[in-house]
Amino acid sequence: MDTAPPLTGEPTLPSPVLIVEDDPLIRRRLERILRQVGYHPDMLCHAASLAEARQHQAAQSTALALVDLGLPDGNGTALIAELRAADPTMGILVISAWSTEDAIMAALRAGATGYLLKERDDLEVSLSIRSVLRGGAPIDPFIARRLIGELYRAPPVSEDATLSAREGEVLLLVADGLSNREIAERLHISRYTVESHVKHIYRKLAVSSRVRAISEARSRGLLDG
């Protein structure tokens, strides 16, 4: 199985590391990866529930936490918020099977430094841990793609999206290929008034060009054909 070499030339690894995971197999896997990163077994602690994690935190502060979200006694997001409040600089990496947008955003808002899916191989987990140790904020590629997709969603339609009668006239002439000057002559208004109407049309349709305005207007049934 691929593994990254132990960290070299780095400051002392922050410890203890708290592994919050109720599945023994996953917990042993994470312990093995942490040892490959350079941690000794006596630097690692584990908790199988929120209650155990809170008991550990009350007895000894944590320097780094690997947190699952689906725990027997609740959602790990609550623990993340508590850990972040206790130490604003702590590295907190979520390693979970949950991939819903609500779970991801809740964990990040609570203070998680990064988010990785359990399905990733040992090398990817190791690299994510190393990233957190170096001050990074690793995000699972699948999750990153979803977040980027959200950023590229079309802007919400304005509540004031209804075109006025004059704006409708201008839009029809735009669709006919007329320039602002030609529209002004056709409607017997100034070119600057036409430009103002066009800007209002763009804003209401959430577009930034004539081509997009025509396409959006047709999709909404504002133009024939």
- What CATH number is associated with residue 95? 3.40.50.2300
pLDDT at residue 207 in the model: 84
pLDDT-flagged residues of the chain (< 50)? 8-10, 154, 159, 225
Predicted TM-score (pTM) of the model is 0.64
User: Domains in the chain: how many in total?
Assistant: 2
Host domain of residue 168: 141-219
Residues 122 and 159 reside in one and the same domain? no
pLDDT at residue 12 in the model: 82
Q: C-alpha 172: how far from its chain's center?
A: 40
- Does 163 reside within a domain? yes
Strands 70-71, 74-75: pairing kind: antiparallel
Residues 112 and 180 reside in one and the same domain? no
Dihedrals phi, psi of 158, to nearest 5 degrees: -65, 145
Residues 120 and 169 reside in one and the same domain? no
CB atoms within 10 A of CB 192: 10
- Does 224 reside within a domain? no
pLDDT at residue 153 in the model: 56
Residues 123 and 22 reside in one and the same domain? yes
Residues 91 and 179 reside in one and the same domain? no
pLDDT at residue 164 in the model: 87
Residues 125 and 194 reside in one and the same domain? no
CB atoms within 10 A of CB 42: 8
What string of DSSP letters covers 1-17?
Answer: ---PPPP-S-PPPP-PE
C-alpha span between 94 and 82 (Å, rounded): 14
Residues 102 and 178 reside in one and the same domain? no
- Does 147 reside within a domain? yes
The answer to whether the CB of 186 falls within 8 A of the CB of 171 is no
Quick: pLDDT tens for 116-131: 999 999 999 999 999 9
- What CATH number is associated with residue 149? 1.10.10.10
pLDDT at residue 10 in the model: 45
Residues 109 and 156 reside in one and the same domain? no
- Does 12 reside within a domain? no
pLDDT at residue 141 in the model: 86
What 3-state DSSP class applies to 41?
Answer: helix
